[in-house]
Structure 1
Amino acid sequence: MKEGELQELVEKVSWKYFHKPFLHKAVFNKRLRTTGGRYLLNTHNIELNYSYYKEFGADELIQVIKHELCHYHLHIEGKGYQHRDRDFRKLLQQIDAPRFCKALPNTASTVKQVKCIYQCLGCGIKFPRKRRVNTERYACGRCGGKIEEVKN
């Protein structure tokens, strides 16, 4: 999908679900990693993650576009456009748009990289960690016992 096709798609989705025009730019931003898209408050433009289109197809991209258009139209109307606002949640429900997008497979946010596992000598609870911990300095948060690294 090219930028011109994306612009047309966003305009069509805006008319179909909101009955209002989309008067700004919609572009793919290939630098986006953890989100499906974003609405820019200053310019009113919408940036979409190209990886979502590649991974999940046009149907999921339309869901992300609907979500971002909720931000867009509510912000322009001066209503609550943030995720926590009642206006935003109500509009999402009316047009059947997701509040959050699907997680992309094999991204750093979905794969937890545990490198070290520590165990409390007192209560036996295990602590997975990405980084090493100084066992002389720290103790168990549950019982206050001594912790040691478990061999993998």
Structure 2
Amino acid sequence: MDQVKLQAFVEELSLNVFSKPFRHKATFNKRLKTTGGRYFLKTHNLDFNPLVLEVLGMDIFEGVVKHELCHYHLHLEGKGHRHQDADFKALLKEVAGLRFTPALKERKVFEQLWKYQCSGCGQLYYRKRRINTERYVCSNCRGRLELLGKDTLHNKS
């Protein structure tokens, strides 16, 4: 989808779903990394992340467009247009827009952590950063900690 088709898609979606015209500019912005779209309060323009369409598909992208159009129409009407406002939440639910954009990148499955063991009770400790074993002791028995090296663990998420 190019800029012209995006503009037409947003205008059509606004008329069909909200029964109100979209009279401003909708563009793709490749610099967006962590968000699906953006509404500008001063210019009333909309920016969209093209990766949402490419990676997640048209259904998710339509939900993102509905989300941004909720900000747009509520702001122009002088109603609560922020995420925490009741007007925004109600309209978003009514039009079946997305509250959050799903993750575009896969999360890291493994993590490298420093592994320590207490010489007294055998308690294991995992830390992202190395610690000074001369300064820190076991929280169970106050025994000395020994560095065992790096260990790879699965992330919970």
Q: Does 1:111 align with 2:91?
A: no
Aligned length: 146
Instruction: Label 1:116 to 1:90 Cα distance change in 2 as closer, same or farther (>3 A).
Output: same
Structure showing the higher strand proportion among its residues: 2
Q: Are the equivalent residues in 1 in contact too, given 2:117–2:148 (CA < 8 A)?
A: no
- Aligned equivalents of 2:41, 2:134: Cα separation in 1: 45
Counterpart of 1:114 in structure 2: which amino acid? E
Q: Are the equivalent residues in 2 in contact too, given 1:116–1:149 (CA < 8 A)?
A: no
* Aligned positions of 1:117-128 closer than 5 A: 117-119=114-116, 121=118, 124=123, 126-128=125-127
Unmatched runs of 5 consecutive residues or more in structure 1: none
- Aligned equivalents of 1:69, 1:33: Cα separation in 2: 20
TM-score normalised according to structure 2 size: 0.77
Deviations, residues 116-152 of structure 1 (Å, cap 9, x unaligned)? 24557489474453xx244359869x87x67665532
CA RMSD of aligned residues (A): 2.8
Q: Are the equivalent residues in 2 in contact too, given 1:114–1:128 (CA < 8 A)?
A: no
Q: Does 1:23 align with 2:44?
A: no
Percent sequence identity over aligned pairs? 40
Residue in structure 2 matched with residue 5 of structure 1 by the alignment: 5
* Aligned positions of 1:72-151 closer than 5 A: 72-106=72-106, 110-111=107-108, 114-119=111-116, 121=118, 124=123, 126-129=125-128, 132-135=129-132, 150-151=148-149
Q: Are the equivalent residues in 1 in contact too, given 2:114–2:130 (CA < 8 A)?
A: no
Q: Are the equivalent residues in 2 in contact too, given 1:135–1:147 (CA < 8 A)?
A: no
- Which structure has the larger Rg? 2
TM-score normalised according to structure 1 size: 0.80
- Aligned equivalents of 1:150, 1:24: Cα separation in 2: 60
Q: Are the equivalent residues in 1 in contact too, given 2:116–2:147 (CA < 8 A)?
A: yes
Deviations, residues 74-126 of structure 1 (Å, cap 9, x unaligned)? 111111111111111111111111111111133xxx33773324557489474
